[in-house]
Structure 1
Amino acid sequence: MTNEAFRDLFQRYFEGLASEEERRALMQHIAAAPEAELELAMREQWLSFEKPDADVTAERGAVLLRSILDNDTMENKELREIRTARTAIYLRRWWVAASVMLILGAGIFFWVSNSKTNEEIVQRPVDVAPGREGAVLTLADGKQVMLDEVKDSVVALQGGATARVVNGQLVYEGRGNEAVFNSMSTPKGRQYNLKLPDGTQVWLNSESSIRYPTVFNGKERKVEVTGEAYFSVTKNNKMPFIVKVNAQTDIQVLGTEFNVNAYTNEAAINTTLLEGSVRVHADKLSQILSPGQQAQIGQDKKIRLVKEVDIDKVIAWKNGYFNFNDADLHEIMRQLERWYDIEVVYAKPVQPVEFRGKLERSLSLSQVLEGLQLMQVNFRIEGRKVIIEP
């Protein structure tokens, strides 16, 4: 299909004039079209409505068009709305919202499964800065070191091992002559990166902790974790690496990369494997994971194996953004509570709505809430408390 034919067919589709055969041809072309071609079609269609505040990028155009493809396949409510004369208004308001966020430096895209455009403008909330790098290091003698503002320097000498901050990472150097224990904790609104004595790297998400020895002796390398952490484990066949999670689950590895989400206000302890192999233990049960799989351990201590996991969503926090694909409002707000150090209260039960979208963790709270507001999430602010309205 030529570019001109594609654009003409795309226009007919939006006007509700495309036949069933033309619709199928359009959906097949969208599914296989290059990003640049989708960008051009989206830009021309958009300019026929109203000039936006920011250019339509290839990524945004492709996302919207592919969402049209998904909706067309499902024959759902959004598709029926697209096929009506209200499409121009719906799309224009949606794109203005995205453009505002783009101007704010965000790069945000939201798509809610049953949303309508919210025409009400509420008062801009009091701003809260996003979380940042920082943690509390507790030494063997109980002394605490705030790592938030520490630049490259030695922060502790213990039994021959040196704890040094290097480029924003706490690194243990040297071979200690005795194993003393340190712990690192990240309060709400903080995250930090740690390099253990064996070279294993650990990324701690907000409201998390890890306890570890300053030197690994004996037959195993064992650490204890709460909250959420990402591990890149240095391989050592003679000394397996063991992560004890919330004092109830053990993860045994040789050399691998995996993520552990064990927040107490989540439904399960989720261990997701990216590379290598791990064995997850819970009570008297165990499960070996392959890359791309996740072990979920609920309150019943049973292990549920998920064979295909959205890895991008699992490690989005480590890569600097939120991934809200297939997330409900409660899941989203729990993440915001931890990262912005806020309290979320629900005035009344909210409807189950699934979101789709990504946004950078560098956004201020007001920018995030404005994005949610455009998706009909109503709220009011009282200090650091966000109250969700029906």
Structure 2
Amino acid sequence: MENYSRYFRQGDLIAKYLKGELSDQEREELEDWLAQSDHNRALFTKLTQEATINTELTKFGSSDKAEAWEKIVSETGYNTPNHRSYIGKRLLRYAAAAVVVILAGLLLYPFNRQSQPTKPVAQQPTDFAPGSSKAILTLADASKIILDDVADGQIAQQADVVITKTADGQLLYAKNSAANSLEAPITKSSYNTITTPRGGKFRIILPDGSKVWLNAASSLKYPTKFIGNERSVTLIGEAYFEIMPLKNAHKQAMPFRVHSASQVVEVLGTHFNINSYADESMVKTTLLEGKVKVIRTSPDRAESSTEIILKPGEQAQLTADAKRRLNLIPKADLEEAVAWKNGQFQFKDTDLPTIMRQISRWYDVKVDFQGRLPDTKFRGKISRDVPLSQIFQILQLSGINFKIEGRKITVKS
């Protein structure tokens, strides 16, 4: 038989939320429950509507609350030695009403609902859809291709390189097998730039087979063919890299170098993430596999390292202030660093401005703050595929309010 204990606990938490009596620990517990699924958020939305809770509260008047409670117990099979004493608790009527709606919601979904789609909260007219796969490719001749508008297949050719958009939404560079082998070898590469807008993301396979995932509001400049003794690209924003080892014509290893804000990351073959947005307080380079060297290119204005060699699980942080300190974080949160690539927002003791910067980029909205911001730190995980209103539901548990005007979000405490 289904164990209903957890639903009674959730009913109790929602009741305390309605009465403004949640402790910090209970608020975190409720936020975690909301972040688990669209179904939970839909129930919470229903429960926080005044009409719903008033309707359910009528079932728990002073004359019939014991009878109604017994009905819940008999229908769910939930029974404990002290369930009668629960009736006398101060929060009974709110908690019982919450439990009724939760259990009623469960009846709309079979208990094997993990294998069935859940029904998300209806998107409001002022809501914002999440970002999607879209980008602009700028070719060496400055012509532009809007990648989300073009059909799959070959979209361009530069010298002996063919550029293809694959069916699974990637940009692929490959040697043209039909190219004339008698043509003079290319001695100088031309450069392309792929740019994701706010609310966009894209994946690309570079000419050497290396894979790059670009986050929203980012760009990557790279050659159409890697020649010489090194491979060099330039990043603005955030990207996750999986670099293929490569040797030149002389059988020498060709290092891969990523140039970003005031630093260069040098690798041979490895997996890593770089977050170098201009509006963040530092550039973060997080290593998941292999080995990389992070080199500070800004003037030496501080007594800190000019370069750091990272091992898997470590992170380099380069401050964005005038001192440009380069610091090593020996135990980085790898899951949080690449959550965006895996389709998640993940927060671990994250402040509100940091969260809103991520929201601004992914949902393509402008964010302003009004009044004094709370010092609240947020923890939780939620899909990046949900409408913005579902994230607001969780943040509002901590007393954060939002005003929407067009694509402008004003955050008020």
Q: Which has the larger radius of gyration?
A: 2
The 5 Å alignment of 1:377-388 reads 377-388=400-411
Alignment correspondent of 2:155: 155
Candidates 242, 264, 271, aligned match of 2:257: 242
- Check the 8 A contact 1:243/1:250 in 2, yes or no: yes
Identical pairs, percent = 39
RMSD over aligned CA atoms reads 3.0
Pairing 1:258–2:259 present:
no
Candidates 282, 290, 299, aligned match of 1:276: 290
- Check the 8 A contact 1:183/1:212 in 2, yes or no: yes
Distance in 1 between residues matched to 2:163 and 2:10, nearest whole Å: 59
- Check the 8 A contact 2:229/2:254 in 1, yes or no: yes
Alignment correspondent of 2:5: 44
Pairing 1:267–2:290 present:
no
Alignment correspondent of 1:327: 350
SS for the counterpart of 2:269 is coil
Say if 1:106 and 1:216 are closer, same or farther in 2 by CA, change over 3 A. Answer: farther
Distance in 1 between residues matched to 2:391 and 2:38, nearest whole Å: 9
Distance in 1 between residues matched to 2:277 and 2:405, nearest whole Å: 26
SS for the counterpart of 1:162 is strand
Candidates 317, 321, 333, aligned match of 1:296: 317
1:139-171, Cα deviation, whole Å (9 max, x unpaired): 000000001133321111101101100121000
Say if 1:47 and 1:106 are closer, same or farther in 2 by CA, change over 3 A. Answer: closer
Distance in 2 between residues matched to 1:337 and 1:194, nearest whole Å: 24
- Check the 8 A contact 2:163/2:174 in 1, yes or no: yes
The runs of at least 4 aligned residues of structure 1 exceeding 3 Å deviation read: 45-53, 90-101, 103-107, 175-178
Distance in 2 between residues matched to 1:106 and 1:307, nearest whole Å: 41
Candidates 327, 341, 345, aligned match of 1:318: 341
TM-fit CA distance, 1:49: 7.5
Alignment correspondent of 1:350: 373
Distance in 2 between residues matched to 1:233 and 1:147, nearest whole Å: 23
Alignment correspondent of 2:173: 172
- Check the 8 A contact 1:106/1:360 in 2, yes or no: no
SS for the counterpart of 1:163 is strand
Say if 1:189 and 1:326 are closer, same or farther in 2 by CA, change over 3 A. Answer: same
Candidates 362, 366, 374, aligned match of 1:339: 362
Alignment correspondent of 1:309: 332
Candidates 229, 233, 237, aligned match of 1:223: 233
TM-fit CA distance, 1:179: 1.3
Q: Aligned partner of 2:399: which letter? A: Q
TM-fit CA distance, 1:375: 3.0
SS for the counterpart of 2:140 is coil
The 5 Å alignment of 1:67-106 reads 78=24, 101-102=38-39
- Check the 8 A contact 2:367/2:410 in 1, yes or no: yes
- Check the 8 A contact 1:257/1:275 in 2, yes or no: yes
Segments of structure 1 that go 5 or more residues without pairing to the other structure are 1-38, 54-76, 83-89, 108-123
- Check the 8 A contact 2:351/2:376 in 1, yes or no: yes
Q: Aligned partner of 1:190: which letter? A: G
Distance in 1 between residues matched to 2:5 and 2:325, nearest whole Å: 54
TM-fit CA distance, 1:229: 0.5
TM-fit CA distance, 1:125: 7.0
Say if 1:316 and 1:48 are closer, same or farther in 2 by CA, change over 3 A. Answer: closer
Say if 1:277 and 1:92 are closer, same or farther in 2 by CA, change over 3 A. Answer: closer
TM-fit CA distance, 1:318: 0.2
Q: Aligned partner of 1:172: which letter? A: Y
1:300-345, Cα deviation, whole Å (9 max, x unpaired): 2221000001100000000001001111101100000000000110
Candidates 219, 222, 225, aligned match of 1:209: 219
Q: Aligned partner of 2:147: which letter? A: L
SS for the counterpart of 1:326 is strand
- Check the 8 A contact 1:125/1:381 in 2, yes or no: no
Q: Aligned partner of 2:170: which letter? A: Q
Distance in 2 between residues matched to 1:356 and 1:231, nearest whole Å: 26
- Check the 8 A contact 1:151/1:168 in 2, yes or no: no
- Check the 8 A contact 1:324/1:358 in 2, yes or no: yes
- Check the 8 A contact 2:10/2:30 in 1, yes or no: no
Distance in 1 between residues matched to 2:29 and 2:351, nearest whole Å: 25
1:267-297, Cα deviation, whole Å (9 max, x unpaired): 1111000000000000361110000000001
SS for the counterpart of 1:209 is strand
Distance in 1 between residues matched to 2:316 and 2:35, nearest whole Å: 36
Say if 1:46 and 1:276 are closer, same or farther in 2 by CA, change over 3 A. Answer: same
Pairing 1:133–2:143 present:
no
Segments of structure 2 that go 5 or more residues without pairing to the other structure are 15-22, 45-123, 177-184, 248-252, 301-305
- Check the 8 A contact 1:154/1:162 in 2, yes or no: yes
SS for the counterpart of 2:349 is coil
Distance in 1 between residues matched to 2:37 and 2:241, nearest whole Å: 36
Alignment correspondent of 2:72: none
Provide TM-score, normalisation by structure 2.
0.68
Say if 1:97 and 1:312 are closer, same or farther in 2 by CA, change over 3 A. Answer: closer
Distance in 2 between residues matched to 1:333 and 1:128, nearest whole Å: 14
Say if 1:250 and 1:92 are closer, same or farther in 2 by CA, change over 3 A. Answer: closer
The 5 Å alignment of 1:354-373 reads 354-373=377-396
TM-fit CA distance, 1:106: 12
